């Protein structure tokens, strides 16, 4: 059992080190994708930062008012017209849960094919993420504000931006085709915007988009966990050792001495230190998220998405890979 826990600790610590996981008690599935220093500092692609003003906080009612006027905000987007020619298509990335820079830097397919199609390249930021904050620095303060953080509202934002691009911003784009692009949640948005606004969107490329993966659907709820397990086993991970590691984690959390050990070995922040026997669930969920994320970004080449990673990071984390170590 100790061996199993040590395996889980060593592997998770290797992965946790690049994800800055030190605060499991405040961890939530509704989190922003992190932006790496490399993304902030440099990119192979160029764009201009633009803003669309007067975007309604609520596209579907007149309830959201400020001094009897509908509350509005500014939506950030990136634009590149280096390859665009009059009447050419608009490649439109439906931004998801994170700062726009990360998506613009890591969606090379759009940039690669834009010259061939003489396309304008647009990345639109999702409301409540990055610099697009409908209520400024108070956007996350209340549930009244967060009630406007929804896919439906975000899609309406994007349609408003597309209309602006076609009618005012881009030369000769009134009849331009619009192709939506997106990955993960952004891929779901790309699929949904094509379905909901077929008169505005001519096509969509939805990458890794679990559009049907909802409760009570025919898709097994544990399907992704099975894919993660397969990825780690293929990389040489001992499945039974990991499973026993979870049990060891739970058992250690049942005593004050065990919790103290976990607090120290995982270097948990003071506000997140395990204080009761059930607190281990927060830590376990966090470690599980690390395994899931590593499988998701297990590219065969070095990448900058989420953080700087070598090729085949699962193998590197397992200690079986070659090349640079995860730092």
Query: 24 and 43: one domain?
Result: no
Mean pLDDT across 200-211 = 95
pLDDT for 186:
97
> Is residue 69 assigned to a domain?
yes
> Is residue 327 assigned to a domain?
no
Q: How many helices (H) and strands (E) does the chain have?
A: 12, 8
> Is residue 213 assigned to a domain?
no
Low-confidence winner among 178-192, 195-209, 240-254 (lowest mean pLDDT): 240-254
> Is residue 243 assigned to a domain?
yes
Mean pLDDT across 175-198 = 98
> Is residue 214 assigned to a domain?
no
pLDDT for 33:
57
Report pLDDT digits (tens) over 109-135. 999 999 999 999 999 999 999 999 999
Query: 177 and 226: one domain?
Result: no
> Is residue 212 assigned to a domain?
no
pLDDT for 213:
84
Categorise residue 54: left if φ over 0, alpha if ψ from -120 to 50, beta otherwise. Answer: left
Q: Is the pLDDT of residue 18 over 60?
A: no
**Packing angle of the helix pair 2-19, 239-252 (nearest 10 deg):** 90
Q: Check: CB of residue 55 under 8 Å from CB of residue 159.
A: no
Query: 166 and 51: one domain?
Result: yes
pLDDT for 290:
86
* Residue where a domain stops, chosen among 175, 207, 239: 207
* Residue where a domain stops, chosen among 182, 207, 232: 207
Alpha-carbon torsion (276, 32, 74, 63), positive or negative: negative
pLDDT for 89:
99
Q: Is the pLDDT of residue 83 over 60?
A: yes
The band of 177, judged by pLDDT with boundaries at 50, 70 and 90, is very high
pLDDT for 22:
46
* Residue where a domain stops, chosen among 177, 207, 237: 207
Query: 131 and 21: one domain?
Result: no
Residue 167 burial by Cβ neighbours in a 10 Å radius (0-12, 13-18, 19+): exposed
> Is residue 323 assigned to a domain?
no
The helix (H) or strand (E) run that includes residue 108 is helix 108-117
Query: 46 and 186: one domain?
Result: yes
Query: 53 and 167: one domain?
Result: yes
Q: How many domains does the chain have?
A: 2
Q: Is the pLDDT of residue 253 over 50?
A: yes
Domain with residue 276: its CATH number is 1.20.120.980
Q: Check: CB of residue 163 under 8 Å from CB of residue 170.
A: no
Query: 270 and 231: one domain?
Result: yes
Domain with residue 199: its CATH number is 3.40.50.1820
Instruction: Domain of residue 269: give its range.
Output: 2-30+219-318
Query: 25 and 54: one domain?
Result: no
pLDDT for 50:
99
How much of the chain exceeds pLDDT 70, in percent? 83
The mean pLDDT of the chain is 86
Query: 193 and 45: one domain?
Result: yes
Q: Is the pLDDT of residue 325 over 50?
A: no
> Is residue 26 assigned to a domain?
yes
Mean pLDDT across 145-151 = 96
Query: 239 and 265: one domain?
Result: yes
């Amino acid at each position: 059992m100790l061996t199993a826990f040590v395996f889980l600790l060593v592997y998770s610590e290797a992965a946790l080190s690049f994800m800055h996981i030190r605060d499991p008690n405040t961890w939530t599935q509704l989190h922003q994708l992190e932006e790496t220093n490399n993304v902030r500092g440099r990119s192979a692609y160029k764009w201009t930062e633009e803003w669309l003003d007067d975007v309604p906080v609520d596209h579907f009612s007149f309830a959201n008012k400020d001094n009897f006027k509908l509350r509005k905000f500014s939506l950030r987007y990136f634009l590149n017209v280096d390859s665009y020619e009059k009447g050419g298509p608009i490649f439109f990335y439906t931004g998801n849960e994170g700062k726009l820079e990360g998506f613009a830097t890591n969606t090379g397919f759009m940039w690669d094919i834009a010259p061939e199609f003489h396309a304008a390249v647009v990345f639109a930021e999702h409301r409540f993420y990055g610099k697009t904050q409908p209520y400024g620095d108070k956007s996350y303060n209340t549930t009244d504000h967060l009630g406007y953080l929804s896919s439906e509202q975000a899609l309406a934002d994007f349609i408003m931006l597309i209309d602006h691009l076609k009618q005012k911003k881009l030369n000769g784009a009134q009849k331009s085709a619009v192709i939506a692009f997106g990955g993960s949640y952004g891929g779901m948005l790309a699929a949904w915007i094509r379905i909901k606004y077929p008169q505005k969107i001519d096509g969509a490329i939805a990458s890794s988009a679990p559009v049907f993966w909802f409760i009570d659907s025919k898709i097994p709820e544990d399907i992704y966990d099975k894919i993660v397990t397969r990825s780690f086993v293929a990389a040489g991970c001992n499945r039974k050792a990991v499973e026993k590691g979870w049990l060891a984690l739970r058992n250690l959390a049942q005593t004050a001495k065990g919790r103290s050990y976990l607090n120290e070995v995982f270097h948990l922040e003071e506000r997140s230190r395990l204080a009761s026997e059930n607190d281990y669930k927060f830590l376990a969920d966090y470690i599980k998220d690390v395994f899931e994320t590593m499988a998701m970004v297990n590219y065969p080449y070095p990448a900058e998405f989420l953080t700087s990673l070598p090729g085949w990071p699962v193998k590197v984390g397992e200690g079986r890979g070659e090349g640079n170590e995860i730092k």
